[in-house]
Amino acid sequence: MLNPTSILKEVVLAATVSLVIAAAFTAPIFNNWENLGVEDWDEHFFFQAVPHRTLLEYKQMPLWNPYYCGGSVMLANPQSRFLSPSFLLILLWGPVLGIKIEIFLHFVIGLLGGYFLARSYHLDKLVAWLPAFVYMLSSMFVLPISGGMTWFLSVAYVPWAIFGYMKSFKQPRYIILSSICLVFMFLGGGPYAFTITLLCFILYTILNIPRYGIAKNVLLTGSILIWTICLGAIKFLPSYDFMNTYPRQLTEYSGYSVESLYDSLFDREQKLTTIKKYFDEKTYDQQGFWSGLSYFMDENGMYVGWIAGGLFLLGIGLHGMRHWQLVLLFLIFLWLGFGDRASPSLWQLLQQLPVYDTMRVAQRFRIIFMLCFALLAGMGLQTIKNFLLHKLPGVSAANGIAFIVILILLGDLFMVNRASFNEAFPIPPITGQRSDNQTTFIQISKYTNYDKNGFLKPNELHVTSSWSALYPVFLLNMGTIDYNCFTNPDIPKNAIPANNPKYKGEVFLHEAEGKVEISDWTPNRLKIAVNVSNAGYVVVNQNYYSGWHADDGRPIEKWNGLLAIKVSPEDKMIELYYRPASFVIGGIVSLLMVVLLVLCVFFRDKQPKILKKIFRKEEEPVEETGSV
């Protein structure tokens, strides 16, 4: 019987260690906490700033983003994060400092998840830290964050989601934990982390049929999927509606080569700028299985070092037969990670399936095979410690040697990977003078990128600069039209920039004579004063998208890809607002599921008979000896 006091002490100790390690590891990003970041950080500061302003200043749900590509969806954008619980930090501290505190928080979450997942594999309290450190402190997590990929924060929930999934075979209540983690991934702007983890569950369900049978596996995975979709419906439905309207079809070549896989795991040069070797050898973008690099280091890096590599080989050699599902998952996701370079290509086969056909960059499947790698490395260290327990007098000697190994590995990860944070935020804050008159919102084509020395020349871009200027333009209450929206070239951008000769204002008349002006401008609602002598149209200089309505029920029409509404001389004031049906339906479903979840918590002992029959309530105590 597990001792509640012992469990509580372990949780408190694990949380304390995670907080200390995360604080030390992320310290460089707070050296100049107001600084902006390189590469994609401009875009992602922008994605935090728009809902921050919409919620706090306009008191509206951020459903629409008038500042992006001529007007586009905000909630339905798969990268939006404002429904994530951690977005509260951005509301409290602003887009720049808030997201940096979020980075620290997600390191804590990921370290704790890695630790408890390792404990579920019967690694002891000391050794269980090795998989947590290998997974969260490798450059796999650091480099994408340094480059501004905020969706990668959701990777911190992956160990927790898998922990809940594994535990639910014995204790069904863990289905809820796994589902909540999957929902947090998607709400946190991590569709890749979500879909990749879901694929892991599906594959593990198939691999686990010999042990638990078809009915139990299908019911468990199906329950997790249903809870996840229903809890997250408030974002799942709008995102599905958007992606279904503008499907993203990609044919980019990607995947690890043997050379880039080796370098990513063991080369100590792990920075955003570490691609010079491939340019010198002319193998950057070279196709083939053995050599070449696709994308920059933020899509490849996962440095763990030779100590972790040796422990992994020991773990897979001695425990691969017992944990064959874990080994097969490692191999399958490694195969997917080779992407287009492997023959046959499992990645190309996966891209024939719905949802997965919108994915890019095969190297992102390292999210799972690195977790398998970390767990198997932990098993390797546990084997060494168990051997020492039998050969050396006393427990302290074996613990001491295991502690030294973990400490050396931790020091190596700090020295190599933490350095990326030193160059992630080198750009001093950019301030803009925003007009107090809210009706002065205008849209421009684009502005030049910037680095620590200021704004660059047109079309200039490098690794240590921003790769857009959405954020400083937003600070001026202006929108940027000419941008590769969601990396999907098929999304129309019909709004007319203010520097275009065809520009007639943010609202103008078509087939009507008179005057029109914006009386009150907000991101999701527009009040427009109209004075016309004949019937015609008021055109709003934003992209047409279904979900726009008029207060009086008149239809919103499309005119040259822009929003338009028919008016007559009787009209003096019209009001438009954005509220898609997918948001309303999804919100109702999510609310009902939250209520059901609360009821399940309070009546958790009233379990249906079918679940009691399929899922036998069995406790699986953690073996303190570390037997694997």
Per-residue pLDDT band at 284 (split at 50, 70, 90): confident
pLDDT at 6 exceeding the cut of 90: no
Calpha distance 271→596 (Å, rounded): 46
Instruction: Please report where in the chains the tokens 């897979």 appear, as a residue.
Output: 316
129 close to 406: Cβ distance less than 8 angstroms = yes
Percentage of the residues of the chain whose pLDDT score is greater than 90 = 77
Tens digit of pLDDT for each residue in 387-397? 998 888 778 88
Strands 450-451, 454-455: pairing kind:
antiparallel
CA distances from 279 to 260, 275, 293, 562 (A): 13, 7, 9, 44
- Give the sheet arrangement for strand 573-578, strand by strand: 514-521, 525-532, 573-578, 548-550
End-to-end alpha-carbon separation of the chain, Å? 20
Calpha distance 375→364 (Å, rounded): 19
319 close to 383: Cβ distance less than 8 angstroms = yes
Query: Could you tell me which of 497, 509, 440 has the C-alpha nearest to residue 69?
Result: 497
Mean pLDDT score of the chain: 90
Neighbouring C-beta atoms of residue 240, cutoff 10 Å: 17
Calpha distance 121→131 (Å, rounded): 11
Instruction: Please report where in the chains the tokens 């602003």 appear, as a residue.
Output: 94
In CATH, what class is 507-581?
mainly beta
pLDDT of residue 621: 43
pLDDT at 463 exceeding the cut of 90: no
pLDDT of residue 609: 53
pLDDT at 346 exceeding the cut of 70: yes
pLDDT at 167 exceeding the cut of 80: yes
Calpha distance 191→154 (Å, rounded): 9
Q: Residue 219 contacts by C-beta under 8 Å, 6 or more apart in sequence?
A: 614
In sequence order, the β-bridge partners of residue 577 are 525, 549
Average pLDDT of the segment spanning 531-557: 95
Average pLDDT of the segment spanning 96-101: 97
pLDDT at 426 exceeding the cut of 80: yes
According to CATH, where is 2.60.40 located in the chain?
A: 507-581
CA distances from 23 to 32, 152, 221 (A): 15, 18, 36
| DSSP for residue 24 | H
Average pLDDT of the segment spanning 140-151: 95
pLDDT at 626 exceeding the cut of 80: no
Calpha distance 125→116 (Å, rounded): 9
559's enclosing H/E stretch is: strand 557-559
Planar angle of CA 8, 120, 204, nearest 5 degrees:
140
Neighbouring C-beta atoms of residue 8, cutoff 10 Å: 10
Average pLDDT of the segment spanning 93-116: 97
φ/ψ of residue 531, rounded to 5: -145, 95
Tens digit of pLDDT for each residue in 197-234? 999 999 999 999 888 889 889 999 999 999 999 999 99
Tens digit of pLDDT for each residue in 609-625? 544 454 444 444 444 44
pLDDT of residue 572: 94
Strands 442-444, 478-480: pairing kind:
parallel
Neighbouring C-beta atoms of residue 98, cutoff 10 Å: 20
The amino acid occupying position 613 is K
Calpha distance 130→310 (Å, rounded): 13
142 close to 418: Cβ distance less than 8 angstroms = yes
Tens digit of pLDDT for each residue in 13-36? 999 999 999 999 999 999 999 999
Residue 335, token pair as written in the block = 């195969």
532 close to 514: Cβ distance less than 8 angstroms = yes
Average pLDDT of the segment spanning 423-447: 77
pLDDT of residue 461: 77
Per-residue pLDDT band at 605 (split at 50, 70, 90): low
